Structure 1
Amino acid sequence: MSFDKFIKAQEQLAILLHEVDKTLANKNRTLINWRISQVHSGSIHLTLEGMPQDQITPSQISEVIKTVERGIVTILEHPIRPKYFSDRALESARSLAILKKRDEFMVQLGFDSRCIDLNQALIANVDEIIGRKYQSFGTVEGVLKAIDVSRKPIFRVYNLLTNKSVKCYFEPNLLDNIKEYLEKRVSVSGIVTSREDGEKIGIKVESIDLFPQKKDLPTIEEMIGILGGSN
């Protein structure tokens, strides 16, 4: 396995753990930090473990691990969404299975848990669970964060209410503008990819506009003047 693929596997496993952690805790943010605790050479054997911290008990870490393990077993056997598995968690599990299809590696969560089996049945069942995807021209609004140009240029736009993000794929010539909009509220237009339930999961960026900041918005008095309420 190449270094890039190893990093990809690590990223996807972290996303899977974080998504289950958030859903299990019914929070918009992750509660547990995870780290690579062991890597064996040869066929890659990747072991991650949760880091105990304030207000996080070992039993909570164990519950996340067990939930992920049970969920993977469920997906391998049937095209049924496991409890606490978001679409993003399912997609990460699918990505791990695709990586394993190309390169032999094993994933283990903590030293006392068993290795997670990732085979081709998982890919097919995740596709059936998530369903078909649709594309149309549309707009995504939210706060622009997490610019990544290490591979295909991408940034994420986060919904202020749900904290869910949409992947935004952009051409390199837009990078300077996008950097200026970092951590600001934007409206992104382009070809949107959505699931059957209408949830937007990605967009190929054609244009991006910045929402006015609070300091740039007119006051109530100015609005009255704009509407013709004063002479």
Structure 2
Amino acid sequence: MAINVKQITTDITLELDEEVISMADFQKATDNFLGLVKELSRQVTGNKADSGEWSVKVYSGSAAVGVMPSAQNLNSDRVREIMVSGIRSLANGVRPGEFSDKAVEYAKSLASLFKKSKVEPNVRIWSKQEESVHVVRKVATEADNLLAPAYEEQGAVDGILERVDAHGKMQFVIYDVIDERAVKCEVTESQLQQALGNFKKRVEVIGTVRFRKDGMPVSIKASRIVNFPDKAEIPTLAQMRALLAGEAST
């Protein structure tokens, strides 16, 4: 059921104007909407966003969920602006500068709701009562194009090794230490054993890297995994000075 625009009291509101909404679709919509709010907040504040900076409101009488900023949230207007303009840009095949990979994925999921419906679903995001953007299915199509690998070459990626998976294709995921961008790594069984020994540690993976059109790595077929030394194995500044002093005296 559509929301009465005059009753909107939240800064950013997700509206699901459908007659019948399954529990799975409603949960998926809510999770991805709130995830998008949190991720854009993180991008705007430089990774300093706190989920406590937003309060959530569920509207009675309609399938709508909204968020409003807490008193200490000084970036809510900016988040609201880039969410609405960003969804429009994605529908036109243009990646918004503030949209990380996670943000694009969240938007894609919102545009993929109600897959069984043969008509365009009525999913909207409202900026207060001022304007709304229709999250059309084309957003999901363009998001796929933006995130899809376009070419491959030999190279290397590094990050924190997480999410080891041996179900079907053997792989793990590493996350960039700066922006937490995920890269899937395809490995052999022996390499998977090495990966397990380096779980939650930083590694460099060398092999055939698949890149997106913008040059960002998407995945890699590993030929070698290089372990980064643990912090305990790295000499302190005092130890390095002592080593250098010893070399100088010989």
What is the TM-score when the length of structure 1 is the normalising length? Answer: 0.64
More deviation, 83-92/167-176: 167-176
Q: 1:210 to 1:97 in 2, by over 3 A?
A: same
Q: 2:158 aligns with which of 141, 145, 151?
A: 141
Q: 1:124 to 1:157 in 2, by over 3 A?
A: closer
Alignment of 1:22 onto 2:67: no
* Secondary structure of 2:87's aligned partner: helix
- The correspondence of residues 1-231 of structure 1 with structure 2, limited to 5 A, is 8-25=28-45, 27-33=46-52, 37-38=57-58, 45=63, 47-50=65-68, 52=70, 55-57=72-74, 60-76=75-91, 78-82=92-96, 84-102=98-116, 106=123, 108=125, 116-126=133-143, 133-145=150-162, 147=163, 154-159=172-177, 162-169=178-185, 178=195, 180-204=197-221, 208-217=225-234, 219-220=239-240
Q: 1:126 to 1:157 in 2, by over 3 A?
A: closer
Query: Which amino acid in structure 2 is aligned with residue 121 of structure 1?
Result: K
Instruction: Quote how far apart the aligned CAs of 1:68 are.
Output: 0.7
CA distance, structure 2, for counterparts of residue 93 and residue 23 of structure 1: 15
Query: Which amino acid in structure 2 is aligned with residue 49 of structure 1?
Result: V
CA distance, structure 2, for counterparts of residue 180 and residue 208 of structure 1: 11
More deviation, 116-125/30-39: 30-39
Instruction: Quote how far apart the aligned CAs of 1:166 are.
Output: 2.2
CA distance, structure 1, for counterparts of residue 199 and residue 84 of structure 2: 36
Q: 1:63 to 1:177 in 2, by over 3 A?
A: same
Question: How many corresponding residue pairs?
Answer: 218
Query: Which amino acid in structure 2 is aligned with residue 24 of structure 1?
Result: V
Structure 1 stretches of 5 or more lacking a match? none
* Secondary structure of 2:112's aligned partner: helix
CA distance, structure 1, for counterparts of residue 212 and residue 39 of structure 2: 18
More deviation, 60-69/10-19: 10-19
Query: Which amino acid in structure 1 is aligned with residue 93 of structure 2?
Result: P
Does the 8 A contact of 2:122 with 2:134 survive in 1?
Answer: no
Instruction: Pick the structure with greater CA Rg.
Output: 2
What is the TM-score when the length of structure 2 is the normalising length? Answer: 0.60
Does the 8 A contact of 1:47 with 1:109 survive in 2?
Answer: no
Q: 1:106 to 1:124 in 2, by over 3 A?
A: closer
